[in-house]
Amino acid sequence: MTTTERPSRSKERQSPQMVDMAWDPITRIIGNLGIHTKIDFANREVAECYSTSSLFRGYSVFMKGKDPRDAGFITSRICGICGDNHTTCSDYAQQMAYGIKPPPLAEHIVNLGEAAEYMFDHTLFQDNLVFVDFCEAMVKDTNPSVLAQAENTPAPQAGVHGYRTIADIMRAFNPFEGEVYKQALVISRITREMYCTMGGRHVHPSTLYPGGVGTMPQPNTFTDYLSRLVKVLDFVKQSVAMNDDVFDFFYEALPGYEEVGRRRVMLGCWGSFQNPDFCDYRYETMNDWGRRMFVTPGIIVDGELVTNKLVDINLGMRILLGSSYYEDWVGEEPFVTHDPLGNPVDMRHPWNQTTVPQPQKRDFEGNYSWVMSPRWYDRTSGQHLALDTGGGPLARLWSTALNGLVDTPYVKATGHSVRISLPKSEQLPETTLEWRIPRWNNTLERNRARQYFVAYAAAMAFQFVEEAMTLVRAGETKTFTDFEVPEEAVGCGFHEAVRGVLSHHLVIKDKKIANYHPYPPTPWNASPRDSYGTPGPYEDAVQGQPIFEENGADDFKGVDIMRTVRSFDPCLPCGVHMYLGNGNELRQLHSPTFGAIHG
Amino acid sequence: MGQIRVGRPDAKPDMSAHIDGTRQGNEGPAESQPGHHRSGTSDARRSTGVHWKKHDAILPAMPNISPG
Q: What is the pLDDT along chain A (599 residues), one digit of tens a residue?
A: 567 777 665 567 788 888 888 887 777 676 678 888 888 888 888 888 898 888 788 888 889 989 999 999 999 998 888 899 999 999 999 999 999 999 999 999 999 999 999 999 999 999 999 999 999 999 999 999 999 999 999 999 999 999 999 999 999 999 999 999 999 999 999 999 999 999 999 999 999 999 999 998 888 999 999 999 999 999 999 999 999 999 999 999 999 999 999 999 999 999 999 999 999 999 999 999 999 999 999 999 999 999 999 999 999 999 999 899 999 998 888 999 999 999 999 999 999 999 888 888 989 999 999 999 999 999 999 999 999 999 999 999 999 999 999 999 999 999 999 999 999 999 999 999 999 999 999 999 999 999 999 999 999 999 999 999 999 988 888 898 989 999 999 999 999 999 999 999 999 999 999 999 999 998 999 999 999 999 999 999 999 899 999 988 888 888 999 899 899 988 765 554 333 333 333 333 444 444 444 33
Rounded to two decimals, what is the model's pTM?
Answer: 0.91
The domain that holds A475 is classified in CATH as 1.10.645.10
Q: Are strands A317-320 and A373-378 parallel, antiparallel or unpaired?
A: antiparallel
Q: How far apart are the first and last CA of chain B?
A: 48
> What residues in B contact A64, CB-CB < 8 Å?
13
Region of A382 (left: φ > 0; alpha: ψ -120 to 50; beta: rest) is left
Residues A414-436: b if buried by 16+ CB within 10 A, e if exposed:
eeebbbbbbeebeebeebebebe
Residue A455: inside a domain: yes
Cα distances from A567 to residues A450, A497, A573, in angstroms, run 9, 15, 17
Rounded CA-CA distance A135/A175 in Å is 8
Residue A538: inside a domain: yes
Contact criterion met (CB < 8 Å) for A67 and B14 = yes
Overall domain count for chain A: 1
Q: In this complex, is the C-beta atom of A358 within 8 Å of any C-beta atom belonging to chain B?
A: yes
At A466 the three-state DSSP class reads helix
Q: Are strands A417-422 and A431-436 parallel, antiparallel or unpaired?
A: antiparallel
Residue A595: inside a domain: no
Residues A18-37: b if buried by 16+ CB within 10 A, e if exposed:
ebebebebbebbbbbbbbbb
What is the per-residue pLDDT for A477? 87
Q: Which of A499, A503, A485 is nearest to A567 (CA)?
A: A499
What is the per-residue pLDDT for A599? 37
Q: Who among A67, A356, A474 is closest to B2 (CB)?
A: A356
Closest-approach residue (CA) in chain A for B4: A358
Rounded CA-CA distance A430/A452 in Å is 16
Residue A121 is part of which domain span?
18-574
What is the per-residue pLDDT for B37? 83
Residue A6: inside a domain: no
What is the per-residue pLDDT for B33? 76
Residue A582: inside a domain: no
Contact criterion met (CB < 8 Å) for A218 and B14 = no
Q: In this complex, is the C-beta atom of A223 within 8 Å of any C-beta atom belonging to chain B?
A: no
Rounded CA-CA distance A285/A101 in Å is 13
Q: How many CB atoms lie within 10 A of CB A599?
A: 4
> What residues in B contact A478, CB-CB < 8 Å?
39-42
> What residues in B contact A477, CB-CB < 8 Å?
40-42, 46, 66, 68
> What residues in B contact A482, CB-CB < 8 Å?
26-28
What is the per-residue pLDDT for A333? 85
**Average pLDDT of chain B to the nearest whole number:** 74
Rounded CA-CA distance A406/A414 in Å is 8
Can you give the length of chain A in residues?
599
Contact criterion met (CB < 8 Å) for B42 and A477 = yes
Q: Say if residues A205 and A196 touch (Cβ distance below 8 Å).
A: no
Contact criterion met (CB < 8 Å) for A478 and B68 = no
Point out the annotated binding site of A.
79, 82, 571, 574, 577
Residue A8: inside a domain: no
Residue A416: inside a domain: yes
How close, in Å, is residue B22 to chain A by CA atoms?
Answer: 16
Contact criterion met (CB < 8 Å) for B41 and A103 = no
Residue A564: inside a domain: yes
